[in-house]
Structure 1
Amino acid sequence: MKHKKSIAGIIGIILGVVIAFLIPTPDGLTHAGMIVLASLVTANIFWIFNVIPSFATGLLMLSSWVALGAVKFEVSFAIFSSTTMWIIIGGLGLGAAATKTGLIKRIALKIMTYFPANFRGQTLALFTAGTIVAPMIPSAHPKAAMSTPIAKGISNALGYKEHDKGSSGIFLAAMWGFFVTEASFLSATAQNYAFKGLIPASAQKVLSWGNWFVMMIPWTIIILVGGYFLLKLLFKPKDDKPISKEFISKQLTELGPMSRDEKITAAVILVSIIFWILESAVNIPAAVTALIGVSVLVACKVLTPDDFKNRLSWSTIIFIGTVMALGNVMQSAGLTTWLRTVLQPVISPIIGNIYITVIALPIIIYLCKFVVVSLISTGTLITIGLLPFFSTMSFSPAIIAIIVTTSVNVWLLSYMNAPFLTGGAAVNDSMVSRSAMAKSSIGYMLINIVGLLVCVPLWQVMGIA
């Protein structure tokens, strides 16, 4: 429909006005809570239909709370002075340097030289390279844009035709390794920090870089092993004999010797990851580590002011900040208490048992993805819906952030996953078929639930489940 965005925008504004000013305030809810609820309804309609850019919708939402007297400015915009926002900025800066210098491409290609040049070998190579690279770049789109052209070169060298089984499998191996494994590391994507920022401060402390990694070890193993056999079952060509790895060696030769900027970037990222792992021991916040790392890269002229302007997605940073503000504001306006009462009959059975939660919640998220396109928006909506129940859960809300992170990454239909669109565009949509996308996504959806179930005993040992 030609005017779909405009119609959705008008409906969203009308609903917001009706909720805020025309509907009587229910018992147990203040007028400030009604304003926050109204703005949330309007914002979600704007996000779902992409009426205006997502970050602009978020800024309007925060501003409306202040303009209409729901909360003060310091409360509405408090998230922008938090450590979470600064680690996102610092992490994206480190990732920009790794991409700019060619370090990430060199690491990926070097790893591939150690594996046979056939479907099975290069699938394992892409899985391994992606998993190693994942925590270094906290943004899915650069990794998708960088990894799929490498996969295209592999596919061509192996003689696969466009959109056939082999080509589709190699493309999906690249996305599986470089994108799906983002859930294994806190620093692998900015959305991990966004979901972490929505849960209570006490639960956020549980999700340090090291704890997140440990919590996700069983899931990571299941995802990698299950993913490898899934792609092998669905897409492995009949003739899978190894060929020469000349195409990989050629690309490495074209990169030349490791440059000064690559060496500096590698050292800074390695030190940063070590300090993130030892955050509680050294008592240096992860955000400070990231910002020091970026400052070193600037001082060494690896990054320039233009890089900060052009290589960091500031619209994404602002959008993440606006959605993270929802948690504190909803509590401040009394909306969480009211929602807990209203939603308790529906939510309580889902969160009453950890095993039921890790099965039912992913399925709910999968269904939401048919309507809400944005990964961050989907995760935000689900987390906000559960926010009133965090204090009554028998397990840590940190687990909710983990489940949301792993479950929003589905690609059953092409519009559901923007990074997959980026990866496809990087190779002119010449590799993977739509049916291959759907089959692999269904496989991931099932493997994800199995992986989460396997994590539960570990979470119980850790005292968070």
Structure 2
Amino acid sequence: MEFSVKKIAFLVVAIVAGVGLALVPPPGGLEASSMQVLGILLGAVILWAGGVLPEAATAILMSMLFIVVAKVPIDTSLSAFSGSTFWLLVAAFGLGAAIKECGLLERISILLLRLFPKSYKGQVLGLSAVTTITAPIIPSKAAKCSILSPLTRGISEAMGYKNEGKEATGLFLSYYAATCFSPAMFITASVTTAALVGMYSPEIQEQYTMVTWALCAAPWLILMFVGNYLFISRRYRPASGNKLDVSFLDQRLKELGAWTKKEKIMGVVMIVTILLWVFKSQLGVPEYAAALFALVAALAFDILPIKKWRSNVAWDSLIFIGCAVSLSTVLPAVGVTDWLVAAVGPYTSMFFSNPFLMIAGLAVLTIVVRFLILSEIGYLSVFTAFLFPLAIAAGVNPWIVGFIMNAFVIVWFLPYQSSVYLTAIHSAGEGWVTEGATTKYCFVYCAIALAASFISYFAWQAMGIWTI
């Protein structure tokens, strides 16, 4: 890896700022170890912002400095690795690789798309619906895009739409917007959402199972689905009512061939896994255990060969997530959380007491900071560690705070902000849609998300989950 002038500058700033903060005399309520942890964290945030090191390398460095410099016990600094969230992610990464390997997602997507009207509006609806329905199957948004982008381009060209035209752009945005908003409802639809679960307290994690989470998120997701569909189907609709030549989908199914044994087994495994998640309370099988059982089945039946498991799973991302999520236990352990609530809590009560101000503030904070911190999980791990205690002190459910931040963390105003966006726009090949036309839609997406959040407040109040 080469160090550019920019990276060297960020490295110097990270060292100076981190060491400087670590050496500041601790105010009342904090100890020297507290300032050391804050200094190390500040340095890590700057390294992430500058992309000086790979994300996982910075996360490991941060955790090791917590142990060596601030004397944080290893079972605290690396607590997430023994938690249920980490092992759910291990299983989810493996299952995602298995489903992609056997081709199950593409087959299911094609079969579902054939059920929708062949008009432009029908395909916009179909792409949005299929992406949302299949979202929980693969936790990697980028992996989903690598499958759905070529399929969507094929649909666009089969309908006779000009590449880089507004109709093609609308079809792209139909599935891509759903890729972005569906993880807010389904924990296993995104590595980011699954990691967010680990940032909550054990009590919150116990309360918000996969089913409960989905039910609480449903009002927001429904509004997002309808809002994006209405805008895209009207703004990008063609002048003429072209119909999809269904032979394109039939041809693609023919190329896939008959259902393979591995696809059938993987389909059964996923159905059983989902049933175990839904009936968790009755059966007493933890969600991570059900997912790990499914992973064992995928490995045992060679749906995911061991060599592919080693090479096709982003192990560096798992390490990064484990280190980053552990911040939720490190900061309380050195007294930062209690001090923050006592020192800052009284001044933030007005912010949290006004639901619309809080929602708008969290949205703006997330959008602005994501221009600096490119990692979705890096941003959430740092800011949830500070905002959750303040929300609890103000009587606001931290689940709501995390949900709102997660709803806006996927922004793609500029291509460099999102590796998912770059995968989506390039995996179907050059010359289909343009960055200029698709990044502009992020403004619309965020406006719909903000309106959906405002309206969902009333639903969350009625459900009794806004406050604690």
Alignment of 1:222 with 2:223, yes or no, is yes
8 Å contact from structure 1 (residues 340, 388) kept in 2 = yes
Q: What SS does the corresponding residue of 2:440 show, helix, strand or coil?
A: helix
Matched residue type, 1:9? L
Residue 7 of structure 2 is aligned to residue 5 of structure 1: yes
Per the alignment, residue 384 of structure 2 pairs with 383
Q: Specify the code of the residue in structure 2 equivalent to 1:277.
A: V
Match of 2:459 in 1: 458
Aligned equivalents of 2:463, 2:219: Cα separation in 1: 13
Question: Offset at 1:218?
Answer: 1.1
Q: Give 1:136's aligned amino acid.
A: I
Residue 241 of structure 1 and its aligned partner are, at CA, apart by: 2.3
CA displacement at 1:121 relative to structure 2: 1.7
Higher deviation after alignment, 298-307 or 349-358: 349-358
- Using the alignment, how far apart are the partners of 1:48 and 1:167 within structure 2? 34
Distance 2:322 2:224 in 1: 30
1:93–1:308 CA contact under 8 A, matched in 2: yes
Equivalence for 1:170: 171
CA distance in 1, matches of 2:391, 2:63: 23
Q: Distance in 2 between matches of 1:109 and 1:243?
A: 13
Aligned equivalents of 1:382 and 1:240: distance in 2? 47
* Equivalent residue, structure 1, for 2:411: 410
Residue 140 of structure 2 corresponds to residue 139 of structure 1:
yes
Instruction: Determine the structure 2 residue equivalent to 1:210.
Output: 211
Residue 36 of structure 1 corresponds to 37
Q: Tell me the residue number matched to 1:19.
A: 21
Q: What pairs with 1:103-114 in structure 2 (closer than 5 Å)?
A: 103-114=104-115
Q: Residue by residue, what CA displacement relative to the aligned partner does 1:155-211 show, whole Å, maximum 9, x if unpaired?
A: 211222222101111111121233431222111112112112112221222221001
- 2:275 is matched with which residue? 274
Alignment of 1:255-270 (within 5 A): 255-270=256-271
**Mapped partners of 1:430, 1:406: distance in 2:** 30
Question: Is the 8 Å Cα contact of residues 172 and 432 (structure 1) preserved in structure 2?
Answer: no
Residue in structure 2 matched with residue 337 of structure 1 by the alignment: 338
Provide the rounded CA distance (Å) in 1 between the counterparts of 2:321 and 2:172: 29
Unaligned runs of 5+ in 1: none
Q: Deviations over 1:280-330 (max 9, x none)?
A: 232211111111111112111212211211121111111111111001000
Q: Identify which range, 350-359 or 121-130, moves more after superposition.
A: 350-359
Query: Counterpart of 1:134 in 2: which secondary structure?
Result: helix
Q: CA deviation at 1:96?
A: 1.2
Q: Aligned runs of 1:48-447 on 2, under 5 Å?
A: 48-344=49-345, 347-447=348-448
Percent identity between matched residues is 30
Cα deviations across residues 401-432 of structure 1 (Å, max 9, x unaligned)? 21122111222222222201111120234333
Deviations along 1:255-299, one digit per CA (max 9) or x if unpaired, are: 011111011111111111121122223221111111111111211
Q: Following the alignment from structure 2 to structure 1, what is the Cα–Cα distance between the partners of residues 69 and 244?
A: 67
Asked whether the 8 Å contact 2:59–2:324 carries over to 1, the reply is: yes
Say which SS state the counterpart of residue 379 (structure 2) adopts.
helix
Amino acid at match of 1:13: I
**In structure 1, distance between residues paired with 2:258 and 2:55:** 42
Aligned counterparts of 1:222 and 1:429: Cα–Cα separation in 2: 33
Partner AA of 2:378 in structure 1: S
Q: How far off is 1:240 after superposition?
A: 2.5
Quote the offset at 1:458 in angstroms: 3.2
Q: Is the 8 A contact 2:113 2:130 kept in 1?
A: yes
Change (3 A) 1:388 1:396: closer
- For 1:132, give the aligned amino acid: I
CA contact (8 A) 1:204 1:398 kept: no
Match for 1:57: what amino acid? T
- Residue deviations 1:49-85, cap 9 Å, x none? 1110001100110100111143111211121011110
The residue identity in structure 1 corresponding to 2:264 is K
| Structure 2 gap segments, 5+ residues each | none
AA aligned opposite 2:5: H
Secondary structure of the equivalent of 1:205? Answer: helix
Change (3 A) 1:385 1:69: closer
Amino acid at match of 1:10: V
CA distance in 2 between partners of 1:373 and 1:345 (Å) = 31
Matched with 1:449 is 450
Q: Which amino acid aligns with 1:186?
A: I
Is the 8 Å Cα contact of residues 115 and 122 (structure 1) preserved in structure 2? yes
Whole-angstrom CA distance in 1 between matches of 2:90 and 2:350: 38
SS in 2 for 1:115: coil
**Conservation of the 8 A alpha-carbon contact between 2:159 and 2:245:** no
State the TM-score, normalized to the length of structure 2.
0.95
Secondary structure at 1:161's aligned position in 2? coil
Determine the C-alpha separation between the residues in 2 that align with 1:439 and 1:183.
Answer: 22
Shift of 1:2: 4.2
Aligned length: 464
Secondary structure of the structure 2 residue equivalent to 1:340? helix
User: Which range is displaced more, 174-183 or 134-143?
Assistant: 174-183
Report the more deviating stretch, 229-238 or 39-48. 229-238
Aligned partner letter, 1:248: L
User: Which deviates further from its counterpart, 189-198 or 234-243?
Assistant: 234-243
Q: CA offsets, 1:82-133, max 9 Å, x none?
A: 1110001111111111111100000111111122333212111111110111
CA distance in 2, matches of 1:430, 1:50: 29
Amino acid at match of 1:14: V
CA contact (8 A) 1:374 1:418 kept: no
In the TM superposition, what is the alpha-carbon distance from 1:433 to its structure 2 partner? 2.7
Q: RMSD across aligned C-alpha pairs, in angstroms?
A: 1.7
- TM-score when scaled to structure 1? 0.95
Amino acid at match of 1:414: P
Q: Hey, what's the Cα distance between the residues in 1 that align with 2:260 and 2:387?
A: 48
Letter in 2 for 1:6: I
